[in-house]
Amino acid sequence: MRLLVSSMKVDGSADGQDMQPLLKVENLVKRYAKRSLVGAREELLALHGVSFTISPGSTLAVVGESGSGKSTLASCLACLESPTAGNIWFEGKDIVTLGERARQQILPQIQLIFQDPASSLNPRWSVLEILIEPLILRRKFNREEMSQRASSLLERVGLSPDIVERPPTELSGGQRQRLAIARALALEPKLLILDEPLSALDCSVQAQIANLLMELQSSLAMTYLFITHDLAMAAHLADEIAVMNRGRIVEQGPAEQILKQPRNETTRQLLAAVPRMVRALPALEQ
Amino acid sequence: MASVLEIKDLQVCYRSGKGVLCPALAGVSFGLMSGEIMGVLGESGSGKSTLAVSLVQLLPSNGEISRGAVHFEGKDLLCAKPDELQQIRGRRISLIFQEPSLALHPTMRAGEQVRQVLAAHSSPGKSALHQRTQQVFAEVFPEDADRISHSYPHQLSGGQRQRVLIAQAIACGPSVVIADEPTASLDPATQMEILAVFRTLRERLGLAMIFITHNPALLSGFADRVLVLYGGQVVECGPAEAVLRSPRHPYTKALFESIPAVSQERGNGRKIKLPVILGDSSRLSWPRVGCPFEPRCRERMNICTEREPALVNLSDSHAASCFKYES
């Protein structure tokens, strides 16, 4: 099944429309060339014509098993990898074909948050250094402004400004993920790509970070692309869910609809694999 | 039913860089019945991994067992000599760790890695060894056993690697398997598959298991009993059904409430916040007086800071350590 939004105009002149999507991905293809020891060329099609849109202020969850292409999608959207074919329209501009200088203007508006905050934060830097690095790279702020911004960022994500001198290794898992979120917010992005942001955390901390993400979304009108294999959390956080399998989106729709009437076999399998707490199944008690 | 493993008042401390002793387990007691799956539930800092390694004395060099006893097959493992322990570890009690890609040798075929476990504990002939390896592989891989035993770890998927670790663990026919977050790095479908493997092995070989996890949802329908650890202490223990369906300790209750359910209704499309436990468990202060959960507890009372609550029996098999239930 293919879900295309091909009814929308693709020439970038959609500005006049009321609800211009923040991000529109069209037919994205990513192919990796593999060369085995004997020299035979093999190709791995990680993304196989992926298309979707996200409207401003909403959350799209991308779910799928490992190897379905979720993380490749994230790297392509954050321009860490260049797609083999396809377009990525961000506010009407195609960041795939855009010139380098124009692209540098857009990239700060798309930020990525990774699964494991322990490996995405420099252990030798202090919290302050981590937070002001993106600001230094923008060269727009003086020292005073930067430390002010750092403490307001910390406050925003629920961390005490007293920790600025400490290294991230002294923080707990939940605090580190809060710090990673604060760093991503430093440049006031419009789109946050969250690549499994909760799965390395304890259950009680997952709930805290999930709530923080919801708070930030409503106060900053943030747009999220939430990549996960936890369907329950996807249903909780997202407006829409896209299910991926072998590089394709096999089903997409409003979160509730995906859960209640899954139409694709992959979705059904994913739903069946969600470990359920007994309380979620009161019907079995009788 | 007789218990195969009996843990009594186990207390383990770690010596920090400055020489200060920090307790990781503060008096844990429980018994593991034969053929039983005991789910140990705990978050970071609860002492669940310390529990796994201290049972077979594999603590890091700064860890020490300061009190307690671990009775297994008529012996106290904590007083056993190193060569006696060597005979038990891997043969009678085996351990499975979280990260299968780190636990396997990258340049050795899967079959050889299982064969070496067998060879380390017995010395039958070459062909007998080979035969036993094949048997073990057939046990965990109903299909494809032969191909997988000839593969290198990087050629296998995460789930297959985890099965190779299970093969190593059951190779010598142990009576107890301790699994520390064995499914944490796998996706949900593979997680369920591995749980199913454990369940079949339990049926077929009569294994008793200590299954350590931070995810309560994994235990429902899998574990027979659940032990909840918090801050190095048992806060609740009982039959899995009872604990998961109607938790009694405030910590267990709050933990379960913070997990979103698939069927959760959303009030006319608006997103609802999850109920959370404030703070986090990995930073507990020592020395402490009173209940370890008191600082985060919604139902705290004056008495909670004065002394430690003891385990109170709520029924003949379900117990929780909270002053609410003390009369």
CB B174 within 8 A of CB B93: yes
CA-based end-to-end distance of chain B:
31
Task: State the pLDDT at residue A277.
Answer: 64
| Whether the Cβ atoms of residue B256 and residue B216 lie closer than 8 Å to each other | yes
pLDDT exceeds 60 at position A19: yes
C-beta atoms of A203 and B276 within 8 A: no
Please tell me whether residue A201 adopts helix, strand or coil conformation. coil
In chain B, whose CA is at the least distance from the CA of A58? B271
Nearest to A70 by CA among A41, A104, A47: A47
Query: To 10 degrees, the CA torsion angle through B162, B164, B170, B172?
Result: -150
Residue B44 is predicted with a pLDDT of 84
pLDDT, tens digit (0-9, with 9 covering 90-100), for A133-147: 999 888 788 888 898
Report whether pLDDT(A23) > 90: yes
Return d(Cα B140, Cα B163) in angstroms, integer. 6
Contacts of A277 in chain B (CB under 8 A): 216-217, 220, 244, 256, 259, 261
pLDDT bucket at A41, cuts 50 / 70 / 90: confident
Q: What is the 3-state secondary structure (H, E, C) of chain B?
A: CCEEEEEEEEEEEEECCCCCEEEEEEEEEEEEECCCEEEEECCCCCCHHHHHHHHCCCCCCCEEEEEEEEEECCEEHHHCCHHHHHHHECCCEEEECCCHHHHCCCCCCHHHHHHHHHHHHCCCCHHHHHHHHHHHHHHHCCCCHHHHHCCCHHHCCHHHHHHHHHHHHHCCCCCEEEEECCCCCCCHHHHHHHHHHHHHHHHHHCCEEEEEECCHHHHCCCCCEEEEEECCEEEEEEEHHHHHHCCCCHHHHHHHHCCCCCCCCCHHHCCCCCCCCCCCCCCCCCCCCCCCCHHHCCCCCHHHHCCCCCCEECCCCCEECCHHHCC
Residue A3 scores a pLDDT above 60 = no
The predicted pLDDT at position A18 comes to: 54
CA pair distance B13, A282, nearest whole angstrom:
42
HEC sequence for B184-207? CCCCHHHHHHHHHHHHHHHHHHCC
pTM of this prediction?
0.84
pLDDT band at A128 (very low <50, low <70, confident <90, very high): very high
Residue A224's DSSP bridge partners are A59, A192
Question: Is A285's pLDDT higher than 50?
Answer: no
Q: Is the pLDDT of residue A217 over 90?
A: yes
Phi, psi (rounded to 5 degrees) for B165: -65, -40
pLDDT tens for each residue of B137-147:
999 998 889 99
Task: Give the rounded distance of the alpha carbon of B267 from its chain centre.
Answer: 38
User: Which residue from A204, A229, A259 is facing B262, i.e. has the nearest CB?
Assistant: A259
Mark the ranges of chain B whose per-residue pLDDT is less than 70. Answer: 1, 263-271, 280-287
Name, in order, each residue with C-beta under 8 angstroms of B177's C-beta and a sequence gap of 6 or more: B93, B94, B95, B96, B169, B170, B207, B208, B209, B210
Residues 247-266 in A contacting B (C-alpha not used; CB under 8 Å): 255-256, 259
CB contact under 8 A, B188 and A204: no
Q: Where are the domains of chain A?
A: 18-120+189-272
Summarised one tens digit per residue, pLDDT across range A173-187 is 889 999 999 999 999
Task: State residue B135's pLDDT score.
Answer: 92
Quote the tokens at residue B219: 């235990």
* Residue of A63, A256, A278 to mutate, testing the B interface (most B Cβ within 10 Å of its Cβ): A278
Identify the band that residue A199 occupies on the pLDDT scale cut at 50, 70 and 90. confident
DSSP A116: -
B158 at A interface, C-beta within 8 A: yes
The CATH superfamily of A18-120+189-272 is P-loop containing nucleotide triphosphate hydrolases (3.40.50.300)
Half-sphere exposure of B191 (CA within 13 A, CB side): 25
d(CA B145, CA A143): 62
Looking at the predicted complex, does its ipTM rise above 0.85? no
Look at strands A59-63 and A223-228 and give their pairing: parallel
Of B244, B254, B264, nearest to A236 by CB-CB distance is B264
**pLDDT of A12 higher than 70:** no
Task: State which H helix or E strand residue A130 sits in.
Answer: helix A127-138
Cα A159 off chain centre by: 22
Using the Cβ of B187 and the Cβ atoms of chain A, whether some distance falls under 8 Å is answered with yes
Q: Touching check for A271 and chain B: CB below 8 Å?
A: yes
Q: Which residue has the higher pLDDT, A285 or B133?
A: B133
Question: According to the model, what pLDDT value does residue B217 have?
Answer: 87
Q: Which residues of A touch B273 (CB under 8 A)?
A: 211, 214
Is the peptide bond prior to A108 cis by the omega test (within 30 degrees of 0)?
A: no
* Two tokens, residue A256: 């509730």
A153 close to A185: Cβ distance less than 8 angstroms? yes
Hey, what are A23's tokens? 């991000």
Q: Which residue of A has its CA nearest to B43?
A: A202
Cβ–Cβ below 8 Å for A275 and B217: yes
- In this complex, do A211 and B273 lie within 8 Å of one another by their Cβ atoms? yes
Give backbone dihedrals phi and psi of B86, rounded to 5 degrees, phi first.
Answer: -60, -35
Task: Tell me which of A36 and B248 has the higher pLDDT.
Answer: B248
Burial class (CB in 10 A: 0-12, 13-18, 19+), A20: middle
CA distance B147 to chain A (A): 19
B256 contact A CB<8A = yes
Tell me which of A151 and A3 has the higher pLDDT.
A151
pLDDT for the residue A283: 36
Chain B residues within an 8 Å CB radius of A119: none
> CA of B215: which chain A residue's CA is closest?
A203
